[in-house]
């Protein structure tokens, strides 16, 4: 299965759905990270999944 690249320009438009704060991109884990919400939102096939129910809590 080939991994689809995430378009980093999306970061300019996306914010955390819970806190409206800035997200950071973790290329290794393919996640968008909200430090304010302490959540990491997955990126699947190049598409960010911005649902809190799909997010993983940060350690």
The residue extents of the domains of the chain are 8-57
pLDDT score, position 25: 94
Residues of the chain with pLDDT under 70: 1-3
Class of domain 8-57: mainly beta
- Residue 4: the pLDDT is 74
| Beta partners for residue 56, in sequence order | 40
Output the six-digit token pair for 52.
């809190």
| Structure letter (DSSP) for residue 51 | -
Residues 57, 39: Cα–Cα separation, whole Å = 5
């Amino acid at each position: 299965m080939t991994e689809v690249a995430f378009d980093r320009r999306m970061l300019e438009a996306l914010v955390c759905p819970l806190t409206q704060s800035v997200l950071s991109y973790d290329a290794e884990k393919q996640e968008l990270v909200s430090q304010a919400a302490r959540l990491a939102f997955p990126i699947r096939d190049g598409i960010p999944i911005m649902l809190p129910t799909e997010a993983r809590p940060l350690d």
